[in-house]
Chain A
Amino acid sequence: MKYIDEFRDGQLARRIAAAITAEAQPDRRYALMEFCGGHTHAISRYGIEDLLPPQVRMIHGPGCPVCVLPIGRVDNAIAIAREPGVILCTYGDLLRVPGSKRLSLLKVKAEGADVRMIYSAADSLVVAKENPDKQVVFFAIGFETTTPPTAVVLQQAKAMGLTNFSVFCNHVLTPAAIGKILDSPEVSQTGAVPLDGFIGPAHVSTVIGSRPYEPFAERYRKPVVIAGFEPLDVLQAILMLVRQLNEGRAEVENEFSRAVTRDGNPKAQAIIADVFELRDTFEWRGLGWLPNSALTIRAAYADWDAERRFRVETHSVPDVAACECGSILRGLKKPAECRLFGTVCTPENPMGSCMVSAEGACAAHWTYGRFRQAG
């Protein structure tokens, strides 16, 4: 495979880092939020914070799909998995997410439920075809990146007339979450969360384009630079944000021009629009109930909607009392400021969702960044 080393070149990194240090004004604050878990992971894995001057601070945003999934929806999935004759298929990260009563899909699998880890939505269709006497449910989560594959699977299930397949849809929308953060009192009024600019999503933007971020730049006067998930992408985006702030600009710029256009991928957008429609409201872990922030399956595909087939009821479950995932997802606290961090909450035994996914702020800090605290 090519194009790995090119985006991880240490010498080039030091040159960009030197430019950031030279251009960042010493008496000015540059509090930058990377929205996506993919950026959080890259920042931690490559030690990018070590290359930045102290006035440039990264704030980890809520863009980790596993992290923002509320406990109630995990409970719903666990209940579906426990129904007799059901095979529940989902992505690996979700298996360990704790629901209520310390249950997880991994634990109900050990109890005997048929829960299968898949790498792609299409694999769940294969499972359904191979198991005609079982009800196969795909537990779908993610932002706009993973939404088109789920939509395609639903189109295919309908075309094939598969009667033993359905999707438990938990797809959510990025712009809604960014809007919520910018409107939150911590950002807009009290200033408890300093926020000067955004590193915009990489893969999400390949689907939706850069246009949806333009209102944020205009209305809230916050620069946005869309960046790829490679470490050099992230560093370059930080430099571009520093320059925008220095020059008093608040624009949407695109560092990830090798994959993102202003209008995104119209074919993927059309497939999404065919299969999904906006939900009135959806619960986000850490952010609460957000109107028009998630997708649900359209009536034309109702026969493949697991929420209808299994009569899934909405229930809302509060986080473990001391868990700070909510505050961490809003940028209000850092992982190390949570009392549970590293004591009772570790990647082996996660209490909150931020400790589960490798993209979660707590797991990333635990796995790659702890020495900063120790030292």
Chain B
Amino acid sequence: MTLQRKGPSLDFKNGRVDLSHGGGGRAMAQLVEELFIESFDNDMLRQRNDQASLAIDAGRLVMTTDGYVISPLFFPGGDIGSLSVHGTINDVAMAGAVPMALSASFIIEEGLPLADLKRIVLSMAAASKAAGVPVVTGDTKVVEKGKGDGLFISTTGIGRVPDGIQISGDLARPGDAILVSGTMGDHGVAVMSQRESLGFETTLLSDSAALHGLVAAMIAKVPQIHCLRDPTRGGLASTLNELAGQSCVGMRLREADIPVRQEVRGACELLGLDPLYVANEGKLIAIVPGEAAERLLSVMRSHPLGKDSAIIGTVVEDPYHFVQMETSFGGNRVVDWLAGEQLPRIC
């Protein structure tokens, strides 16, 4: 290969992505080599095939995919890169599965500073390494200026479900307890605080985190968990409505038991939002037979990502599949689906 001229390296300090980086030629190969393979370095990527080949044992595989279009690309506590790893790992983990591998597809807008792209890819690689889930295959496309918003990332994840685990959104039963793994609304408010038009400051960080370790600890001690789901877009309220609909049950929550940080409550007051509808990226909802609730709670609380876990309500019979809540004030209300968009593009 000595006859191949190497040429100058990519200028990660001042350079920008241009259309040639997605053109399939040498510039694209250079971006893949110097940024993606370098950062995500693993055996499967190094084979430089258009696909990754994974060995599997017998059992059930789960697969999920998610697109990340968050604005801004960088926010307190994370960025689009780490989010695209955590979010997809979490979707795999919510089946009780052990995540095995991720794919990543980048749609980059012409003009994105290479420095930003590098920062994002390094953050993604760090998240993937910390989670122990490699990015094993990927794709890069560049679109003309004005046809994207800096960067969109799409990741797909696969994982293996341990024998004997059956977790699904349609398995909630009357009498089950509803738990959450921590405070609600941190991610949405942290992202919102970065929007220039809002102009408020907060020390709050996004809760973006990979939850498969917490899930593994939970199913090891309480394998009879019925449902797991991460309350991302639409927040706790919308996710519980999804689960109530899937399982054909109602739910009764106690507002006083739902953990919400003071900063999140304050920001929501100012902006006219309800924390129950604000997105989370590092929290989960667990539904478990009532008699196992306390045991699960103590397992969750002893994990660093679940220390603020709480039992927030119970599953009830209800032909209307309403999620209702006893307010801290003593009245009752329906906790409905989010109507329309509460906030644009937060994940």
Contacts and interface: CB of A to CB of B under 8 A. Distances in A.
On chain A, which size bracket covers the interface? 20 to 34
B54 interface: no
A347 interface: yes
A374 interface: yes
Interface stretch (B164-172, B211-219, B330-338): B330-338
B340 interface: yes
A46 B324 contact: no
B330 A367 contact: no
A119 B340 contact: no
B328 interface: yes
B333 A368 contact: yes
Interface string B243-271: 00000000000001000001001100111
B324 to A, nearest CB: 6
A287 B265 CA distance: 37
Contact of B327 (A47, A123, A374): A47
B1 interface: no
Interface string A7-24: 010100110010000000
Interface stretch (A48-56, A74-82, A155-163, A263-271): A48-56
B331 A49 contact: yes
A234 B96 CA distance: 46
A118 B330 contact: no
B58 interface: no
Interface residues of B, number: 25
Contacts of A123: 197
Contact of B328 (A10, A371, A374): A10
A96 B341 CA distance: 11
Interface string B177-214: 00000000000000000000110000000000000000
Given A4-B265, A96-B340, A370-B322, A13 B333 contact: no
25 contacts: A1-B265, A8-B329, A10-B256, A10-B330, A13-B329, A14-B330, A17-B330, A46-B331, A47-B327, A47-B329, A47-B330, A47-B332, A47-B333, A48-B331, A50-B331, A51-B331, A119-B198, A123-B197, A348-B339, A367-B333, A367-B334, A368-B333, A368-B334, A368-B336, A370-B334
Given A14-B330, A123-B197, A363-B339, 13 more contacts: A1-B262, A1-B269, A8-B329, A10-B328, A13-B330, A46-B331, A46-B333, A47-B327, A96-B340, A119-B197, A348-B339, A368-B334, A371-B324
